[in-house]
Amino acid sequence: MKMIDIPPVWLAGFAAIAWWQPEIYSLGLTFGGDWARFVGGLLVGGGLVLMALAFAEFRRHRTTVIPHQEASNLITTGIFSRSRNPIYAADALILAGLILRWDAVLALPLVPVFVWVIERRFIIPEEDRLRRKFRHEFARYAQKVRRWV
């Protein structure tokens, strides 16, 4: 079961709900057309860039990107000097962008729900593991760099 309990699966599930929302129950609501699709595309693209920057740091530091595994190194450089969780922030951007592109107005509340789920399922347990393993180094890092942005 743990194999499917990974953030991309959660993102895909939330995205599927957002995609179905306008088909099932739209109430005729709309974000307004082309500008929403454009902004949605920017958010998705920005999320993908953010994710690529984070993956590059994981590779450079030779540590795991898999949430339930123990990290061999604490990454504090690159994009991680701005956010402790850039991949999760990227996931939230991608979800928001897809909602805009798909004109899924009623699905917009899924973004904060997704953030809440990711924080509880992944971020808090990950930070607990990092806090135990890297004690003082993680404490300094957490004081200096915010969890999200």
Question: Does 17 reside within a domain?
Answer: no
Question: Does 75 reside within a domain?
Answer: yes
Question: Does 13 reside within a domain?
Answer: no
Instruction: Provide the domain count of the chain.
Output: 1
Question: Does 149 reside within a domain?
Answer: no
Question: Does 84 reside within a domain?
Answer: yes
Question: Does 95 reside within a domain?
Answer: yes
- Give the predicted TM-score (pTM) of the model: 0.93
63-99 burial code (b ≥16 CB/10 A, e <16):
beeebeeebeeebbeebbeebbbbbbbbbbbbbbbbb
* Residue 57 neighbours by CB under 8 Å, 6+ apart: 75, 77, 78, 79, 80
pLDDT (tens digit, 0 to 9) for every residue of the chain, 149 residues total? 455 889 999 999 999 999 999 888 877 788 888 999 999 999 999 999 999 999 999 999 999 898 888 899 999 999 999 999 999 999 999 999 999 999 999 999 999 999 999 999 999 999 999 999 999 999 999 999 999 98
Expressed as residue numbers, the domain containing 106 is 29-144
Whole-angstrom Cα distance, residue 137 to residue 21? 44
Whole-angstrom Cα distance, residue 143 to residue 145? 6
